[in-house]
Amino acid sequence: MNKKFLFIVSVLFCVLAYKAQFDGISSFMYDTILRNQVKANRIVTVSEYIKVDSISKYNGTYFFDANGRVTEFNMVYGNGFNRNKFYYNKIGSWTKTIRYDSQDTSKIESIKIWTWDVENHLLKEERNVDINGKMEMRKTFESTYSKTAKGVYRIVRKRYEDNKFHSTIYGHDSTSGKQKFYVSYEYRPGDVDEKGRRAGVKTVARSYTKDFCTYDDVLTYQVFGKSEVLNKIKTQYIQLDVKGRLLEVGEINYDDVYMDFMQEHPEDFNPNFYAPVFLKALLEGKVQGVKNPEFKNAYDAAGRLIEKDLFVYCYTMKYNEKGQLVEQFGENKENQSTKQLYWYNEKGLISKTQSTSLDPLSENAQVTKQESTFVYSYRD
């Protein structure tokens, strides 16, 4: 699979997992700790009941297979339901998702299907379209993989829009010391510049680890025939400590460092793209951008997460004698705050949460309270 895509997914799951210790029933979809608990306790379903202002109501149910993966959820959504089903192959990759109509949950609204080869390479994606009232599956892309004598995978991916060929992506892996690269070119039929040269987009994804921090660069070029210019650099990073615990996730900004660097190389400066001399210095590690963290974590001596800065909120956590999270308090610079309390059943599973939010900026300093109760069913 495309390395750029894999990194985006890994960062997304990482953010979801550390957004909160438990963020409601939707956490069962992504949280690997919860998934292991579901598997270990042979859970079949978990249902949520919400109480707001003393009024309790059913909010929905998640269904699981024997491996702890979500196979279906059916959640209250406005005046209807949000019902989805999920299917997996033997190694856990999604093969199909089905979304149902919000008013008639027996009626299919959309389908996506993924086809994989035996080495878990993604070969094809299809989705349904409505053609005169009939559901028809159409591919959004299809891929072929080949392996060179040196073990490098090459990929050709054809993309489609409205059942018409859209573009072709040519990609391959490569390695340089401890750095891994994924290079791809995307061309659309008929795209040429004013000189008649074939125009396209080149993407170089670089991944490397230094001092327990993984960096992933995505370099985007405009390609004209055999010429290319670099017009975008995006770097995301994940910082761990020596014990492998997540400390920080964020992006790196190069705007200021680029302008400073070009002060020393004015003859190469161009406001429309990054100069090759700057890219060379970047790839050789001679220039460093500015880290902009999206969130940070801190741990106590027992290895428990006790503080985290997430976007505009700063959270602190408290635990009971069993090491279970019992309180999470968050506050921002405007003194808006949120507080979650947690209770557990005899199996150590979350049985109830209580959330309180205070907004001193609203009329009458509004306080919002919500209580969620979770009911489990188990395999024999």
pLDDT score at 177: 65
Q: What average pLDDT does this structure show over 225-253?
A: 94
* 14 found inside a domain: yes
**Could you give the 3-state DSSP secondary structure of residue 117?**
coil
Q: Is the pLDDT of residue 209 over 50?
A: yes
And the tokens for 352? 């109830």
* Of the candidates 94, 146, 138, the residue with the CA atom closest to the CA atom of residue 116: 94
The answer to whether residue 90 is domain-embedded is: no
Region 246-255: what's the mean pLDDT?
94
> What pLDDT is recorded for position 18?
45
Angstrom distance (rounded) from CA 48 to CA 375: 7
The answer to whether position 39 is within a domain reads yes
In a domain, 377, yes or no: yes
The pLDDT, as a whole number, for residue 11 is 42
Distance CA 203, CA 221 (A): 6
Mean pLDDT confidence for 12-18: 43
122 CB-contact burial (10 Å; exposed 0-12 / middle 13-18 / buried 19+) = buried
Q: What is the per-residue pLDDT across 316-363, written as a single tens digit (0 to 9) for each?
A: 999 999 999 999 999 999 889 999 999 999 999 999 999 998 888 777
Q: How confident is the model at residue 17 (pLDDT cuts 50, 70, 90)?
A: very low
**Residue range(s) defining the domain that contains residue 50:** 1-57+295-380
Q: How many CB atoms lie within 10 A of CB 250?
A: 17
What is the tally of structural domains in the chain?
Answer: 1
212 pLDDT more than 50: yes
pLDDT in the model for residue 100: 94
Is residue 273 within 8 Å of residue 286, measured between CB atoms?
no
What pLDDT digit, counting tens, does each position of 262-287 carry? 999 999 998 889 999 999 999 898 99
Half-sphere exposure of 85 (CA within 13 A, CB side): 13
Whether the CB-CB separation of 102 and 92 falls below 8 Å is answered with no
The answer to the question of residue 196 being in a domain is no
By C-alpha distance, which of 344, 315, 350 is closest to 329? 315
> Does any domain span residue 19?
yes
pLDDT of residue 9: 40
How many CB atoms neighbour CB 370 within 10 A? 15
pLDDT tier at 205 (50, 70, 90 boundaries)?
Answer: very high
Whole-angstrom Cα Rg for the chain: 25
Token pair 């995978």 is found at: 153
In a domain, 183, yes or no: no
